[in-house]
Structure 1
Amino acid sequence: MKPFVQKLPKQEFKSFVSVTFSTPLFETPWHRHLENEILYIKKGYGTAIIGDFVGEFSEGDLFYIGSNVPHWFRKANEDLFCTVVVIQFDKSIFGNSFLNIPELAQIKKLINLKQALSVNYELDTSLIEKIKGLEDAEGFDHMSRLLAILNSISIKTKNSILTHEHINSFDSKGIIDEIMEYTFNHFQENIKLEDIAGLAKMSESNFRRFFKLNTKKSFSKFLKEIRIAHACKLLKDKNLFVSQIFHDCGYRNITNFNRQFKEIKGITPSAYRAQVLND
């Protein structure tokens, strides 16, 4: 499957995209685009890979993805129905000087960000209504709502930076997307590097370099992050024992599972469960 530099069509008389996508249009391959993007998860949950970040997404999550940051969202299971509100805009719509006025300093900083953010909007409960209403807005209201949304994200929310290393390289043959799909579908199995390199039709040493160039991490770390993201989802079910969970995540012994979980999340599985269940 060939990855693409995504370009969503704009409606007539609108300078940027604001649209809702539901399954099966929710699911896209590993891709990037010149435009900045705001994603609000209206329904569904699963795994998000954004630049060098691997983690969960769930209903109510809000993401801001900077220009050219590659990303990939996959629902937790095949039968799940997912819906996302997408806002996609090129900063060129603001012209050469508009963003330079002092009143827009924080918005300019946000738009020029080459990273992705997880947006905590508890300080601005009206933000989601602004996002939902953008699709039907027209004329001046369409643009003014976008500025209001960007203003809220830049100064009225608590944002967590998700990506830390900018990915300059982008696979032009679809190999990374194929590897991600395979890993996502088989992470519960004993995946060997030689098998993955064979899938990519490369030697192990060439594949190691290729994967790191395109994701800023080793394949072993990527596989670990996929497994731990799945574990985090399962740990939210208080009826499941940790001894059950580590098997379902592709680990053969609980000691290795505990060690790798702490390495990725900074706390033990039991501590993570206590934290999320008490929130």
Structure 2
Amino acid sequence: MKPMCEKVIPSSNSSWRYVKYDMPQIDFNWHYHPEYEICLTLNSQGLRYVGDSIADYGDADLVLVGPNMPHTWHSSPNEDGSSQVVHVAQIPKVWIENQSADHPEMQALELMLKRSGRGIVFSKQTGIYAKSLFERMESENTFQRYILLMELFNTMLQDSDTQPLSSSFFSYGDKTDAGIDKLDRVIEFIYKNFDTPLYADDMAKLAHMSTNHFHRFFKRRTERTLTEFINQLRIGKACKLLITSNHPIAVISDKCGFNNISNFNRQFLSIKSCTPSQFRKQIRVKHLLS
């Protein structure tokens, strides 16, 4: 089966992406992307596919996968009906490689990044410690998440019980995917026009698809619906204005493309777990205390 190229969108106001999945089982989703990926799988067992490696995995499975290496996990539902949890950090290649090249303190990371081209599985002990770091990431701001990511890399570097996954001669040469070009056009359009009304029909035309096909295509490639993606982008822009400007909240709502203040407040609360006014107040309190 030919792997699908996944488009990775960094988390709001961040250079990389952190996401937590909570699901009854892990479906087979053979894919690759140009980012490094750290994946921690909890309360789950099944088969792990990385390159030409197919192996059993169990709880606290921690893996680092290099850029463009096809991979997926696959499990069945747990007998007790409990959820399976996956924490994922996806880190742009140029960003992390520049970090390690530009800072002598991080040069030890270079070798591990090179080794990850085959995929690396870490010891269960490291996986258990990584669980505590990922759980802290869930509720932290972007700066604290960056610190926790560096701590996670450092923990992985200390592990002397790592194993490569894919064979040294495996390579995935066909990385062309027409779909990624279509998605790039759409995302560029959204970023340029986020403050104006956006319609699925217009973006479907950009991608040369029917609207129904486009909705399925976008969700599969970004793991978010079109509406979720646009709202998350707009709320990210709103956060920046709440921090850097004194504009009234109603003005910020308009500047970020929301059709009314009630919808803005509702979407902000859903994504940030606080209202825009609470967010601004928290930022000002932190500034006074710093």
Q: Which of 113, 126, 146 in structure 2 is aligned with 1:111?
A: 113
CA 3–24 in structure 1, closer or farther in 2 if over 3 Å, else same: farther
The 8 Å contact of residues 121 and 158 in structure 1, kept in 2 or not, is answered as no
Q: Which residue of 1 aligns with 2:58?
A: 58
| Fraction of identical pairs, as percent | 20
Compute the displacement of 1:33 (Å).
Answer: 0.8
Matched, 1:167 2:171: yes
CA RMSD between the two structures? 2.9
Task: Provide the C-alpha distance between the structure 2 equivalents of 1:34 and 1:133, rounded to a whole number of angstroms.
Answer: 26
Quickly say closer, same or farther: Cα 1:24–1:92, change in 2 above 3 A.
Answer: farther
The equivalent position to 2:85 in structure 1, one of 77, 83, 86, is 83
8 A Cα contact 1:62 1:118, kept in partner: yes
Secondary structure, counterpart of 1:143 in structure 2: helix
Aligned-partner SS, 2:63: strand
Counterparts of 1:65 and 1:72 in 2: how far apart (Å)? 10
Q: The residue matched to 2:38 in structure 1 has which SS?
A: strand
TM superposition shift of 1:71: 0.9
**Alpha-carbon spacing, 1:54–1:64, altered in 2? closer, same or farther (3 Å):** same
- Contact 1:106–1:151 at 8 Å: present in 2 too? no
- TM-score norm. by structure 1 comes to 0.54
Partner of 2:103: 101
Residue 247 of structure 2 corresponds to which residue in structure 1?
none
Whole-angstrom CA distance in 2 between matches of 1:132 and 1:159: 23
CA distance in 2, matches of 1:126, 1:136: 17
- Structure number with higher helix proportion: 2
SS in 1 for 2:122: strand
SS in 2 for 1:38: strand
8 Å contact 1:69–1:166 — kept in the other structure? no
Partner Cα separation in structure 1 for residue 99 and residue 23 of structure 2: 39
Q: Is 1:130 the equivalent of 2:167?
A: no
Alignment check: 8 A CA contact 2:32 2:71 kept? yes
Counterpart of 2:158 in structure 1 is 155
Q: Partners in 1 of 2:113 and 2:142 — Cα distance?
A: 22
The number of aligned residues is 173
Distance 1:17 1:132, change over 3 A: same
- Counterpart contact for 2:121–2:162, Cα < 8 Å: yes
Shift of 1:131: 2.4
Cα distance in 2 between the residues matched to 1:49 and 1:117: 12
Q: How big is each residue's C-alpha offset from its partner over 1:52-90, in whole Å with a ceiling of 9 and x where there is no partner?
A: 111111221111111111012111469875321111111
Deviation sequence 1:97-137 (CA, Å, 0-9, x none):
65343321221222233121110153686332112222332
- How has the CA–CA distance of structure 1 residues 122 and 98 changed in structure 2, closer, same or farther, with 3 Å as cutoff? closer
Q: Residue type matched to 1:101 in 2? A: H
Q: Relative to 1, partners in 2 of residues 1:138 and 1:166: Cα closer, same or farther, differing over 3 Å?
A: farther
Instruction: For structure 2, list consecutive stretches of 5 or more residues without a partner in the other structure.
Output: 178-290
- The change in CA–CA distance for 1:117 and 1:89 in structure 2 (over 3 A counts) is same
Change (3 A) 1:96 1:77: closer
Give the corresponding residue for 2:23.
23
Question: Are 1:34 and 2:34 matched, yes or no?
Answer: yes
The code of the aligned residue for 2:8 comes to: L
Whole-angstrom distance in 2 between the partners of 1:88 and 1:158: 23
Q: Flag structure 1 segments of 5+ consecutive residues without an equivalent.
A: 174-279
Name whichever of 33-42 and 109-118 sits farther off: 109-118
Q: Please give the TM-score of this superposition, normalised by the length of structure 2.
A: 0.52
1:219-258 equivalence runs, <5 A? none
SS at match of 1:128: helix
